Structure 1
């Protein structure tokens, strides 16, 4: 199973565009918040795979009324939590483990800084960065979550 992981698209704004070529053909698209406007969610839904999203801090009222602040999804026996803002860097891994005690991993966004951490028990946190708004990062990024035999791995993709 292959899941596309994106966050912080902040669209529409300028010439930004979704990395559609990397979203077609995946089993689902996970968006960790800050879509910004309804049209972005609709564009993602038009690509084809199911879209699962959480609300971000800059999402419009329409999105905030329809998207949860956090959620848990299960794919092929793997439980993945999602939240936009995972809080301060210090203690983040342990804090998310406490907040999502039954999940195998948590996907988050907000910082636009790609991150992948794993604790001693194998619990993972993953931030895909941003495919459209890199801020202080050298490149735009997104991620993939792969599930095989109930084993979850994350990969970061640098977009050119």
Structure 2
């Protein structure tokens, strides 16, 4: 199973749109994970129209309408936890492991800065943002291969 992972799309905003390379990967995935800050309900509906099931959590700038329908956390495929804000960098991996003791990995967003860390078989992954890179050098997203033995995360540069 292949999962496409995005976060912090903050759409709609001016002429900004999802990069074609991102949309192509979203369409071809078995499922889409969005780690919050979609911003408006229309973005969730647009993602759902691509075909694969969408698993999303609410972010800090999502509209009240989105915040009512999206959970703060969720577990996908019984192995991947999702949350928008994983807190400050110091101690993040240990904190996420404690918060989600049954998960093999946590996908999060908020900072717009891509990150992949692993310790003792537990992973945390921030895909960055495909639309608003802020301090990151590039627009990015992630892909996860879900296999029997291991979750394989890959960061994808979009520009």
Instruction: Work out the CA distance in 1 between the residues paired with 2:81 and 2:25.
Output: 22
Instruction: Name segments (4+ residues, structure 1) moved above 2 Å.
Output: none
Instruction: Using the TM superposition, give the Cα deviation of residue 53 of structure 1 relative to its aligned residue in structure 2, in angstroms.
Output: 0.2
Instruction: Work out the CA distance in 1 between the residues paired with 2:154 and 2:93.
Output: 18
Secondary structure class of the residue paired with 1:155:
strand
Moved more, 143-152 or 24-33: 143-152
Cα deviations across residues 53-95 of structure 1 (Å, max 9, x unaligned)?
0000000011000000011111xxx510000000000000000
Moved more, 105-114 or 10-19: 10-19
Residue number in structure 1 paired with 2:150 = 151
Residue number in structure 2 paired with 1:103 = 103
Instruction: Using the TM superposition, give the Cα deviation of residue 17 of structure 1 relative to its aligned residue in structure 2, in angstroms.
Output: 1.6
2:5 equivalent to 1:5 = yes
Pick aligned residue for 2:30 from 27, 32, 43: 27
Instruction: Work out the CA distance in 1 between the residues paired with 2:49 and 2:56.
Output: 14
How many correspondences in the alignment?
156
Instruction: Work out the CA distance in 2 between the residues paired with 1:135 and 1:6.
Output: 15
Unaligned 5+ segments in structure 2 are: none
Residue number in structure 2 paired with 1:133 = 132
